[in-house]
Amino acid sequence: MSDVLKGNFKPQNAVVVPEEKPETLEERFERTALKRLGGSIAFVSKKKVMWDLKDKV
């Protein structure tokens, strides 16, 4: 149950908002690094990596 819906009556169906997962250390690092992006501060956004290990040589 959540109160994301606010009004002057009770809707028929409750809106259940899933509990937010706490921020992981990886997420915290990437968020913090992004704020200081530039110059020697560059990083890998791990969720955006498209893995490709095929040897192309």
Partner 1 sequence: MAKVLFINPVVREEDVPRHIPYGIALLATLAMEKGHLVQVYDENAWRKGEAVLRQVLTADEWDVVALGGITTAYGSIKTIVRLARRLCPRALIVLGGGVLTSLPREMMGFLPEVDVGVIGEALVTFNEILAMLDSGVRDWGKVLGTISRGPDGALIMSGQRPLIENLDSLPYPAWDLFPLEEVYFKNSESLFSEEGMMAKRRLDINGSLGCSLVCKFCFHLGITGDMRYEEDEAGVVNVAFDRKGSYTRAIRYHSPEYIVKMVKFAYDKYAIDFVAFIDENLMTMDQHSGRTWLKEICRLWHEYGLAPQKNPDGTWTGVCWGGTSHATLCNPEILKIMREAGCAQLVYGYESFAPHVMKSIGKGATPASNMRSFFWTLEAGIRPIPNQIIGFPNEDFDSLRANMEAWKKLGLVVKPHFATPYPGSEWFTVYRKQIERQYQGDLEQFILDLGDASKSSAIISHNFNAVELIGLRDLMMSFNWRQLDEYERIWRINRGIPEGKPSTLYPGAGPHLAIDEPAKPSLTLVAGA
Stretch that binds partner 1, among 3-11, 27-35, 43-51 (CB under 8 A): 3-11
Stretch that binds partner 1, among 6-14, 24-32, 36-44, 47-55 (CB under 8 A): 6-14
Per CB under 8 A, 48 contacts partner 1: no
Per CB under 8 A, 22 contacts partner 1: no
C-alpha 5 chain-centroid distance: 23
For residues 50 and 57, what is the distance between their CA atoms, to the nearest angstrom?
A: 19
Residues sharing a CB contact under 8 Å with residue 33, sequence separation 6 or more, in sequence order: 41, 43
Chain residues binding partner 1 by CB under 8 A are: 4-9, 11-18
